[in-house]
A and B are shown apart, each in its own frame.
Chain A
Amino acid sequence: MRPRVAVLTIIALLLATGASMANPGGEGDADRDYTCGGSCHGDPALSSPSDGTVTVSVNPLAFSGTATAVHVTASGMSLSGNRLLGVFLLGSANGNDDHPEDHGWNILQDPNGGTRNYVEVVVPPSGSVTLTWVMLAPVQPGIQTLLTEIHHGSSPNSNNWAYSALTRGYVVDVQPVPENLPGFAFDWSPETRVTGDDSPTVIRTRNTTSVSVQWMLEDEWVPHNAEVTGEDDEWHAMLPATIGDIRIQYQVTTSNGDFSIVQPWLTVATEPAAFDGEIWGARIQALAFGLLIIAFLLSLQARLSPWEGRQDPDHTEEVEATESPPEEPPGLEPADDYWSRMVPSEENPGWLWDPVEEEWVADPNNPPEGGE
């Protein structure tokens, strides 16, 4: 019976580990090549085609060095328990040098507020999610191709497949930028602000004489005008602070009298306040806690253990009380009458019979043999 239970337990444990595969918790936003350059999702023995639908919306015409938005919508795919979806924006699908920046693009902002080409998002219950990358087009004019790929799991996932899907290439014709076209500076990217920070957002531009900024909360429909100050292609926009999970989007319009260009919507990238711990503080705190624990437990061990010199509790009074002769019945004098009433017995040498208590008592003058 027991061996069967043990075998069944081991089988159950092995099956439980089988339910965990690849990196179901994700690997975080990063700069990655197609299928991470060869991952579980790219291995034909471990992967399976996704059942989702991915659509890409991008302007087929872009001017070199100007901002353009790429919208990726993924829907209808099976998802693992944590509903995590990984989405790539790629310039090719070779397994190396696939990052859009390897093809001349410059990511101004990814859907999570960073500048990565691979992001992970939690898909809402609707099962559909739209992600937007804002990029500066390559400086060199020419035909460019953009692809997207998704990675996800499934629940249940009895075969432990890692699911993936790659879209077709979307062609973008990058044309030479018209002279004097106002836009973002090539080396500018949106700042990341700490939660609660309402300091002005710096925007650097080129060929621009005036800037206007509109902002709105993520679920709002009507934008608000932001106060903008600055000159010489460096501008300061007053945007409200972000708190908690609230996301603020803003749109910059760059003008110079000849052109007025409405740039794609950007998101105020917010990160939690910097962690104020440091490694030596952690080490000292850990060691201090460890030593205090040792001191406490060792003293507890010493308290509980029998050690030399320990003063045993004095129970003399209790012992004497239990060993003292029984109380005399009323009317008898204690000392004299107690022993005088004893009746010796020849059959039981060393013992005296107490007729009052009706019990045998050891004779103090003639102790019984064996000490009993």
Chain B
Amino acid sequence: MFGAATFHAAMAEVVVGSMMLATLCAMGCAIATIFPNIAGGRLSSDRVMVTMDKASIAGALLGLMFMPIAALSGSFAADNVVNNALLYNKFVYTGLAFGFWASFVIGRVRLGPGVWQHRSLSALQGATAAMAMLMTTMASSIGGKLVRGESLFDIMPIWLPSDSATVLNPIFSAVLLLVGIAALVVVFRLGPRAERIPLD
């Protein structure tokens, strides 16, 4: 047997590792679309684009699959008690990371690999992946802060707020949850139907 904290660390490593791969590849696709002549056009070649596209979706899917396991094991490791702002923010950043990654995956699946042929959509997917990675690393860095008292973010210029938390009333959070579900229903049922973009 092993502790929930050990299991959580292993799951978090899987999530962060696979999502780092997804982010790098998604950013590569976006850059190749926006600047087709970069690196002598090698980055935007069909072979590289297909490889990066598949790696990004595979990494994001793997990370998304393991994210709930990592979140639950982390919750057990904390004895299901949130007693400080850092831990609370870890949950919030995990939720945000989930939202960004799910959007990235849904967008790529619905629109197909042709998403990288449109500059605006490509930029949106790249930005989504970058934001998703930022949220993921924030959540995992808070874990480092909690366990080891330090994080790689200590030496980086980016450090989003984490020492103080914006704690919403659970009722207000539940209302926001309903609004989110309603917004999703509107997007999927009533909104314009996004179609698979044919490849040139």
A positions within 8 Å CB-CB of B = 20, 23-28, 274-310
Contacts and interface: CB of A to CB of B under 8 A. Distances in A.
A291 B183 contact: yes
Contacts of A296: 183
B95 A275 contact: no
A285 B168 contact: yes
A304 B81 CA distance: 42
Contacts of A295: 180, 183-184, 186-187
A299 B174 contact: no
A296 B103 CA distance: 9
B149 interface: yes
A238 to B, nearest CB: 30
Given A279-B82, A301-B110, 20 more contacts: A23-B149, A26-B149, A275-B85, A277-B82, A278-B82, A279-B91, A284-B177, A287-B177, A288-B173, A290-B99, A290-B180, A292-B179, A292-B180, A298-B106, A300-B124, A301-B107, A301-B121, A302-B192, A306-B197, A309-B193
Please provide the 6 A-B residue pairs with the shortest distance between their CB atoms, ordered closest to farther: A25-B149, A286-B95, A291-B180, A293-B99, A295-B183, A290-B99
A305 B165 CA distance: 36
A281 B177 contact: no
B158 interface: no
Contacts of B107: 297-298, 301
Contacts of A286: 91-92, 94-96, 98
A282 B192 contact: no
Contacts of A305: 111, 115, 118, 121, 194-195, 197
A284 B181 CA distance: 12
A114 to B, nearest CB: 16
A298 B197 contact: no
A23 B99 CA distance: 33
A25 to B, nearest CB: 2
